Amino acid sequence: MLKTFPKGGIHPPENKLTSSKKIKRLPVPKVVYVPIAQHIGIPAEIIVDRKDKVEIGQVIAKSGGFVSSNIHSPVAGTVTKLDMVIDSSGYKKQCIVIRTDVKNESNFQDIEYPLKKEISLEPIEILKRISDFGIVGLGGATFPSHVKLNVKEGIKIDCLIINGVECEPYLTADHRLMLEKAEEIIVGIKILMSALHVNKAVIGIENNKRDAVELFKHLTANEKEIQVAALQVKYPQGGEKQLIRAILKREVPKNGLPLDVGVIVHNVGTIFAIYQAIQHNQPLIERVVTVTGKKLGDPSNFWVKIGTPINDLIEEVGGMPEGTRKIVNGGPMMGKAIKNTDVPVTKGTSGILIINEDEASRGEAKNCIRCGECVDVCPMGLEPHLLMNLTEKGMYEKAGQEDIMTCIECGSCSYVCPSHRPLLDYIRFGKNITKKLASSKN
């Protein structure tokens, strides 16, 4: 029996169209739009000005606090303006617009570094560099990595979990990265283990990526400290709490953190970014993005510079197909629908999904038939139908008592609801209000 988390979860059609497509390098865009709020927390502070010349990898916006991150220029070029551009939040946000210098060769150099295994940095230096080089969680939540790694004294970490689950349908960015950069990822894991003084690491991979499971098992055959866990295919296994439960059978306490059970979880993409930063001095300026959709000419995986307009990606796979009704930044379960293709790729963009008209529209919401399916699939043991009702009626306090804040917004409830009720829409709204009420009380 493969490992998995016990309560809830769904199995949507996988549609991993691009799992056999090698990651290609997207041509360097002419202009990049680098938002200053690419991570959870405080937006970075812009430290360049109009007409400034910037080098590739140069810091262009400085971390605005502890829960924040540096932002580096993905290209060498000139800052043309500081503008407001719609990003995936649907609102206009501050962006640094950089025109690529076509004469500067550093833009077009091959960034494929040779594998480097020896770790020469001290733990303190490693953590400092992760913070300086703008590494954030690349799984989608974009939580600044140095905050996660900042373990206070007295807390014992005994296991590092590497999240290679990629439970979202359609997306294959992590899968391809694991296949193509397996050895680098293993070095990355060792870097983190030495930085955290942990001597156990587990790589969790869902069993629909057999090739990746086999590859890692093969590569870690002689490494006692690194294990590979093949997991049953179930959404949302990529959720931190579900993954820890599946692999270690430990349950992160309500309102607690993985640290509370002695675990730190990092995405494989993040591990690779850490490897690049520590071994090759490369800040986080590019990432793997899956561009996919059933009607696309040639869905593929790409190495993409942060700040590249999504339009460039779509052009690369054969242009926007006829009848496109929805563009999703991320996977179909948790991604955000975006307004237009000028939205730039950010550190959190793991995929672009193009949905055509037959699948874009939501079903009409009908009465709740109280089938209890949402209760069944909720991986957090919540009652989504109840939370929606309470939020709809404005009973936020009661919703808080029913643990609305522990919702991980995986969308399983909305996915299964036979009456097409917008459960998650209301729960998310309820969470927002509850958060506001809580902060106004303090």
Partner 1 sequence: MNESILNSVLLLVSLGAVTALVLYVVSKKFYVYEDPLIAEVEGLLPAANCAGCGSPGCKSFAEKLVTTDDISNLFCPVGGNEVMKMVAEVLGKEVAEKDPTVAVVRCQGSCEVRPKTTEYQGPKSCAISSMIYSGETDCQYGCLGDGDCVTACKFDAMFMDETTGLPVVITDKCTSCGMCVEACPRDIIEMRPKNKRDLKVFVGCLNEEKGGIAKKACAVACIGCSKCEEVCPKDAITMVNNLAYIDPEYCTLCRKCVPVCPTHSIIETNFPPPKVKKVEADKVGEVTSVNLVKDA
Partner 2 sequence: MDSPQIVISASPHVHSDRTSKRIMYDVVIALIPAFLVSLYVFGYNALIATSVAIFSCLLFEYLIQKYLMKTEVTITDGSALLTGILLAFNIPAGLPIWMIIVGSLVAIGIAKLSFGGLGFNVFNPALVGRVFLLVCFPVQMTLWPTAVENNTSLADAVSGATTLGIIKDGLQFGETMTEISAKIPSSVNMLLGITGGSIGEMSALALILGGLYLIIRKVISWHIPVMILVTIGLMTGIFWFIDPEHYANPIIHLLSGGAILGAFYMATDLVTSPMTKKGMVIFAIGIGAITVVIRLFGAYPEGISFAILIMNAFVPLINNYFKPRRFGSKIKAKIT
Whole-angstrom CA distances from 366 to 274, 414, 417, 419 are: 47, 13, 10, 5
Q: What are phi and psi of 437, to 5 degrees?
A: -60, -45
Q: How many other CB atoms are found less than 10 A from the CB of residue 168?
A: 29
- Tokens found for residue 410: 């995986």
Q: How many C-alpha atoms does 46 have within 13 Å on its Cβ side?
A: 19
Q: Is 95 annotated as a binding residue?
A: no
With CB under 5 to 8 Å by kind, the binding choice for 89 among partner 1, partner 2, none is partner 1
CB of 430 to partner 1, least distance (A): 10
With CB under 5 to 8 Å by kind, the binding choice for 265 among partner 1, partner 2, none is none
Instruction: Say how far apart CA 397 and CA 404 lie, in whole Å.
Output: 10
CB of 392 to partner 2, least distance (A): 14
Instruction: Say how far apart CA 130 and CA 146 lie, in whole Å.
Output: 6
Q: Is 410 annotated as a binding residue?
A: yes
Applying CB under 8 A, the span of 48-56, 172-180, 281-289, 362-370 interacting with partner 2 comes to 362-370
* Residues in 67-96 that interact with partner 1 by CB under 8 A: 84, 86, 89-92
Q: Which residue from 311, 336, 383, 398 is in contact with partner 1, where contact means CB under 8 A?
A: 336
**121 class by beta-carbon count within 10 Å (0-12 exposed, 13-18 middle, 19+ buried):** middle
Handedness of CA 196, 201, 206, 212 (dihedral sign): positive
With CB under 5 to 8 Å by kind, the binding choice for 348 among partner 1, partner 2, none is none
Q: Does 116 bind partner 1 (CB under 8 A)?
A: no
CB of 170 to partner 2, least distance (A): 9
400 neighbors 434 (Cβ within 8 angstroms):
yes
With CB under 5 to 8 Å by kind, the binding choice for 373 among partner 1, partner 2, none is partner 2
Question: Which of residues 299 and 309 has its CB atom nearest to partner 1 in the complex?
Answer: 309
With DSSP H G I counted as helix, E B as strand and the rest as coil, what are the percentages for the chain, rounded to 5? 30, 20, 50
CB of 59 to partner 1, least distance (A): 28
- Tokens found for residue 57: 């990898």
216 neighbors 180 (Cβ within 8 angstroms):
no
Q: Does 7 bind partner 1 (CB under 8 A)?
A: no
For tokens 């549609």, the residue is: 15
Question: Which of residues 92 and 280 has its CB atom nearest to partner 1 in the complex?
Answer: 92
Q: Does 434 bind partner 1 (CB under 8 A)?
A: no
Sheet holding 263-267, edge to edge: 226-231, 201-206, 159-164, 263-267
With CB under 5 to 8 Å by kind, the binding choice for 86 among partner 1, partner 2, none is partner 1
CB of 422 to partner 1, least distance (A): 5
* Residues in 22-41 that interact with partner 2 by CB under 8 A: none
Q: Which residue from 31, 233, 257, 337 is in contact with partner 1, where contact means CB under 8 A?
A: 337
* Residues in 355-414 that interact with partner 1 by CB under 8 A: 361-362, 365
- Tokens found for residue 80: 């043309």
Q: Does 435 bind partner 1 (CB under 8 A)?
A: no
Whole-angstrom CA distances from 86 to 179, 333, 368 are: 34, 22, 36
Question: Which of residues 81 and 366 has its CB atom nearest to partner 2 in the complex?
Answer: 366
Q: Which of 151, 203, 142, 135 has its CA nearest to residue 175?
A: 203
Mask of contacts with partner 2, 74-93, x by CB under 8 A?
A: ----------------x---
Instruction: Say how far apart CA 358 and CA 360 lie, in whole Å.
Output: 6
* Residues in 375-434 that interact with partner 2 by CB under 8 A: 375-376, 378-383, 385, 403, 406, 409, 411, 414-416, 418-420, 422, 424-425, 428
Exposure class string for 376-400: b at 16+ Cβ within 10 A, else e:
ebbbbebbbbebbbbbeeeebeebb
Q: Does 353 bind partner 2 (CB under 8 A)?
A: yes
Annotated binding site: 368, 371, 374, 378, 407, 410, 413, 417
Task: List interacting residues with partner 1 (CB under 8 A).
Answer: 84, 86, 89-92, 336-337, 339-340, 361-362, 365, 422, 425-426, 428-429, 432
Annotated binding site for [4Fe-4S] cluster: 368, 371, 374, 378, 407, 410, 413, 417
